[in-house]
Each structure stands twice: as structure tokens, then as C-alpha cells.
Structure 1
Amino acid sequence: MKNAKRGQTLFCVLLLLSLLAGFIAGGCGAAPKTTKVVRVGFLRNDLHQLAYYVAREKGFFTEQGLDIREGGAFNAGPEEMSAFSAGELDIGYVGMASCVTFASQNMADVKIVAQANANGSSIMVRPGLDAGDVSALRGRTVAIPGMSTLEDFLLRTALQKAGVDPVGVNIIVVKPPEMISALATAQVDATIACEPYPSMAHAQKAGRVLENSSKIWPRHPCCVVVADAAFMDRNPDAVRRFVAAHVKATEYIKKNIAEASSMAHLFTGQESAVVNSAMKNIRFDYRPETKAITKYVEFMKRAGVVKQKNPSAFTRNLVDARFLPGRGS
């Protein structure tokens, strides 16, 4: 009788051990994968940063196990970079000029982990101005969004290619939203700005395109994705997952232009006709080109913005493409 009870007890113990082993082997005993919170910044209604909106709305960030917390929709690049300086952002979409300025002056410790877009700006001329090419801007007043900006570089490059000394052009600073009325009222002869402002000016009959930036400098860098260096050191896997979502969103835009244009309309609040026109002038590309970025950094060094002695070394340190498929170039 005692032997029978002992056998039953042993059987029950073995059964429990077997069930417990199966429970653990099945993964039920493993700790659940935690979702990583990432504080993200971007420029308000900026069409160049559409990949962020697509990744968010399509759930690409969620697929990567990321909990995206919007740290701010900023009106300008310097404002967003200041948020990085204050430790308020982990990753952000921002213009090249602001990124390079803050990084080169040690005001923010960030790395470019992906590109957001290439091209996407245009030189516009006012109605009634007889200008067949950029050489017609000699002696004219041309508005740029800021000194040492990418548009400043593009304008000076276009002028030099056309045989025009920039010294002979009255280059002034006007905020992009104000450029349209400045063109329409002939306060300026020409402007250069990023989309959607050229398409908006065209739709309002305030100006026409003289030359797109893709002709001035083919595939030039524009907006980029940057990560706080300390955050990246502590959370390389989170950055890798964010970049993967960005890459997927960028490819989605390129393969689904009609739907992406509709999403861009919602993201920017611009009319569909304006968005459709602007999208044709933007190249969505996630792969940063170090040589192209260095070319712009050299311009900023000549302008006195970048203080580093070696622009190439500075750029190589600024760009970290390890999380991209095939890496950058």
C-alpha cells in the first residue's frame, strides 16, 4: 500500500516537472519584450519629412516595437536643434543646415543616421520678368531663407555656373512664407526656397520656376534624420529599429506615389494640386552621401559657420550609416 502511494506521489512530481519544463521551453516563462520609448522631433508641415508621417500612420514604428512620443513639431531647424541641445529629443527630422551648424559649433551632439530626401528646391522669378536662365539674375534682387542655408549655397552655385558673380546680385533674406507675396508684388525679382513654397507660388500665379535644384546640383542632400549621440550609445537597437521603419516608409512613398501624395496633403494641410506638384520635385531617399554633405560643409566653412579645419573628417564623424541596409555612401 505504501509502495503504491509512493509511486503515485513520484508520478505526480514527475508530471509536474514535465509540465513546468514544457511551460518554460514554450517561452511562457521568458520576460516579455519591452517597447522602447523614443522622443521624436520634426519640422511642422514639412513635405520633405513625409517619411515620418507615413511610418507613424502605417504603423511601421509600432512594428519595430517603438513607442513614438512627439517631442515637438518645430517651426524651424534651429528651434529643433535647440531641443536636442536641451536633451529633449532622441531622434529628429531636420534640415541639413541646422544640423551641421549645431554639430560643428558643439551646440548639439548628434549623428546623421539616414537621409530624408534629396533635391526639392527651386529658383522662382516674379511675373513679367523676362528671364530665360539664371544669367538673367545679374543685378537683380533675389531672396533666400537665410545666409549659409542650403538654398544660399544652391543659388550661389547656380549663379557661378551661369557665369554670374554673386557679388553682382542683391541677395536678401526673406522667410519662405513671405516670399510668395514678395514675388507677387515685385518686391523681389526672384526667390529660392524648398517645396512646397515654389509650388504654392506657381499655384497662386505669384511666380514661375526658373530652375529646379535638381538641375543645379543633382541629388543634393536636404533633410536628414539625426540621433542624439548619447541616446544612440545607450540604445543602438532602438536607433536601428527607427531607421528600419524610416527606410520602409521611404520605400513605401516611392512605390505608392498617389497614396503618399494624399497622405502628404493631410500631413502638410496643403491643397492636393500643390502637393502633387511639389512631390515631383522631391527625391525621397534614405541613403546619405558623405561626399555631397562634405561639399556643403566646405561651403559653410568658407562662410565662417563651420570652424573645423578638416571638413571631410568632420563629415565622416557626423554621418553614422551603420544601421542602413548596405550602409551609406
Structure 2
Amino acid sequence: MNTLRKSVHVLLCCMLFVPFVLAACGDAEEDLTAVRVGEVTRSIFYAPQYIAIEKGFFEEEGLDVELTTTWGGDKTMTTLLSGGIDVALVGSETSIYVYLQGSDDPVVNFAQLTQTDGTFLVSRHEAEDFTWEQLRGSSFLGQRKGGMPQMAGEFTLKQHGIDPHRDLELIQNIDFANIASAFASGTGDYVQLFEPQATVFEMEGIGHVLASFGEESGRLPYTVFMSKQSFIQENPEIVQKFTNAVYRAQLWLEEADPAEAAGLIAPYFEDTELAVIQTVIERYQNQQSYALDPAIDEEEWERLQDIMEEAGELPKRVDHAILVDNQFANNAAEHVK
């Protein structure tokens, strides 16, 4: 009988305790602050972002990241300016374009994710002892005019003495989503491709990677987290926590085995083989495309504008201090270990 009373007592205690546990869990979830993030595209190039989500770095900072893919720089910036998202992951050049149009609430860059161009030169044929001079007189399937990939590509070609508008047939009338399939169908002798398509083409024997535009064009704030100035001013704690999580992911990926990193972000790329994801991550790690910290230094900013200027897409240079706020990156570097 005593045993029965004890069992009933324990059961009642458990029943009374469970609601408190559930309530505590509910409170913990409610304590997370929602942050709406729009990424310009879905790409292995953005691996640190997915790692920050999957490793729980954002949650540990008290943030609930709601990630959507906004497909294109123009759409991403429009969504940010209209209040559809809080943070945009997109090329820094878009913030310059918005500022030069006379925005009352400029878009400010606060955390860098990638620090080189992410495209590769892919040839239809193998080329032993490759030199850039081999492109002269060829047909080149490029990227969208005014976009950072195309500007970095043109900058690289000019660095090697090739005028992309005179010394080769530059093809730019194909939508971004159809560039790879156009090359596979026979258009162009060379193509400028992002990963994982470059690696996939190599594996399938469709093309051969000859060079990296990232290595050739140098370091620049290629893909950056940015927000409207008003959002940053009104929510500095959120921006700091967000930057902390990004930096933790960057530190993790810097030391991570590509296979482990690939397994972690694989759910974001269901149609891509794990071996391809691993190869791409390793390639980007080796050329240090992933930024090692969130800060955007002035030299990188000026190089970005050099490339834009060379492409004829920059009417006026914008000072680093106007559109870059490194206080959050610097705080993260000082306090996050």
C-alpha cells in the first residue's frame, strides 16, 4: 500500500511538473528574436551562413533566422528596401547603386561572408599549359552586365591584356539560370560559371576548369550581409548577435574538414551529390573565398570600386565610412572565441 501511495505521489508530481517544463521550453522559443534574411541565390558559396544555422549559432545568440532566397540582386534589394526582409545577403555593389540613386535610408554593409569572386573559367576542351591569351578570338559566355561576376570577369580579362568587347565574342543575352545549359548545348568556347556547376561539368566531361576569377581578381567584399541604416540604428543588439553567429561559423569552417562541412549543409542542396558539395567547399577553402572574419576593410572596398569603375558601372566613388559599419565585426572579433 505504501508502495502504491509512493507511486501515485511520484506520478502526480510528474504530472504537475511537466506543464512547467513545457512552459519553460515554450518561453525559450518565444525568447528568440525573428530575423528575416534574404539571400540573393542558393549557393555553396554561402556555406558559412548555412553552417551558422545548422550548428545553432544563431539560436545560441537568441535569434530565429527566417531564410528565404530572393533570386537576384535587384529583387533582393527591392525586398529589403520595401521592408520584406531585415537583412540581405547580396553583393556590396548593390548598396552602392542604391546610395547613388539618392536613398534617404541607405543600405549599410555590416558583415562580410565571401571575400573573392566565386566563378571559374570553364573551357569546352582541355588546355595544357593554359594562358589567358588562348581566349583571344574565342566566344565567351559571360554573366549579367553590371553584376559583380561579369565585372570581375572583365577586370580579369583586361588584367591579362584582353579587351572583352573587342578581342573575343562576348555573349551576354542569356539569363543567369540558363547559362550552364546553354554552354552544355554548345554555346560558347568558354563560360564563366559558379559552383557547383563548374565541378559538375568537370565530372561529367562537359567542361574543364582552367582558372579561378576569384584568385585572379583579388579580395573584395563580394557577398555581404547588409541592412537599411534605420534597422541597424534601431536594432544594434540584433545586428551584433547576428554578426557574432556569422563569425562563429567562419571560425568553424576555417578549421573544418570539407567532408564534415558538406554533410552539414547537404540539406540545402538536395539535388547535388555530397561528393560535389565536398569538392566545392574544399576548392573555396583553398582559395580563401570564404571570409575569415566579418570585417570589410577599406582596401577591399576600394578594389571593389576599381572593378566597377573599370566596367563603366560606377558614376561616382563612395567612401568606405558611408556604407560600411565595422563596429559589429570588430566587437565579434574581440569577444567571440
TM-score w.r.t. the length of structure 1 is: 0.80
1:110 aligned onto 2:107: yes
Match for 2:278: what amino acid? N
1:62-141 correspondence to structure 2 within 5 Å: 62-70=59-67, 72-106=68-102, 109-119=106-116, 120-127=118-125, 132-141=130-139
1:248 maps to: 248
Indicate if the aligned counterparts of 1:176 and 1:197 stay in contact, CA closer than 8 A.
no
Shift of 1:109: 2.4
1:325 maps to: 330
Distance 1:69 1:272 in 2: 25
Match for 2:89: what amino acid? Y
1:284 aligned onto 2:290: yes
Closer, same or farther: CA 189–103 of 1 in aligned 2, 3 Å: farther
1:255-270 correspondence to structure 2 within 5 Å: 255-257=255-257, 258-269=259-270, 270=272
Query: Mean alpha-carbon deviation: is it higher for 126-135 or for 40-49?
Result: 126-135
Please give the secondary structure, in 1, of the residue aligned with 2:146. Answer: coil
Distance 1:217 1:143 in 2: 18
Distance 1:200 1:222 in 2: 23
Closer, same or farther: CA 241–79 of 1 in aligned 2, 3 Å: same
**Deviation string for 1:113-150 (max 9, x for gaps)?**
11111233211111367882211111211122211222
Distance 2:311 2:218 in 1: 22
Query: Mean alpha-carbon deviation: is it higher for 293-302 or for 251-260?
Result: 293-302
Distance 1:104 1:268 in 2: 36
Match for 1:320: what amino acid? D
Quick check: which has more Rg, 1 or 2? Answer: 1
Closer, same or farther: CA 127–185 of 1 in aligned 2, 3 Å: farther
Please give the secondary structure, in 1, of the residue aligned with 2:244. Answer: helix
Shift of 1:214: 3.6
**Deviation string for 1:60-81 (max 9, x for gaps)?**
11111123233x3222222111
1:219-230 correspondence to structure 2 within 5 Å: 219-230=219-230
Among 142, 151, 160, the alignment partner of 1:162 is 160
2:205 maps to: 205
Please give the secondary structure, in 2, of the residue aligned with 1:116. Answer: strand
Closer, same or farther: CA 135–142 of 1 in aligned 2, 3 Å: same
Closer, same or farther: CA 302–211 of 1 in aligned 2, 3 Å: closer
Distance 2:75 2:281 in 1: 25
Shift of 1:207: 0.8
Shift of 1:304: 4.7
1:21 maps to: none
Match for 1:115: what amino acid? Q
TM-score w.r.t. the length of structure 2 is: 0.78
Indicate if the aligned counterparts of 1:41 and 1:92 stay in contact, CA closer than 8 A.
yes
**Deviation string for 1:161-213 (max 9, x for gaps)?**
32222222222223444233333333111111322222222222221112112
Indicate if the aligned counterparts of 1:201 and 1:207 stay in contact, CA closer than 8 A.
yes
1:51-70 correspondence to structure 2 within 5 Å: 51-70=48-67
Closer, same or farther: CA 73–156 of 1 in aligned 2, 3 Å: closer
Distance 2:240 2:329 in 1: 8
* Structure 2 gaps, min length 5: 1-27
1:190 maps to: 190
Query: Mean alpha-carbon deviation: is it higher for 136-145 or for 266-275?
Result: 266-275
Shift of 1:233: 0.5
Distance 1:42 1:213 in 2: 22
Closer, same or farther: CA 100–189 of 1 in aligned 2, 3 Å: farther
Distance 1:198 1:290 in 2: 31
- For the aligned residue pairs, the C-alpha RMSD in angstroms reads 2.6
Distance 1:273 1:222 in 2: 26
Closer, same or farther: CA 134–207 of 1 in aligned 2, 3 Å: same
Closer, same or farther: CA 170–206 of 1 in aligned 2, 3 Å: same
Among 307, 316, 324, the alignment partner of 1:299 is 307
Distance 2:301 2:273 in 1: 32
Please give the secondary structure, in 2, of the residue aligned with 1:280. Answer: helix
* Structure 1 gaps, min length 5: 1-31
Closer, same or farther: CA 131–148 of 1 in aligned 2, 3 Å: farther
Match for 1:265: what amino acid? A
Please give the secondary structure, in 2, of the residue aligned with 1:324. Answer: helix
Match for 1:134: what amino acid? W
Closer, same or farther: CA 64–94 of 1 in aligned 2, 3 Å: same
Closer, same or farther: CA 35–273 of 1 in aligned 2, 3 Å: closer
Distance 1:281 1:220 in 2: 18
Please give the secondary structure, in 2, of the residue aligned with 1:124. Answer: strand
Distance 1:135 1:49 in 2: 32
Number of residue pairs matched by the alignment: 293
Match for 1:111: what amino acid? V
1:26 maps to: none
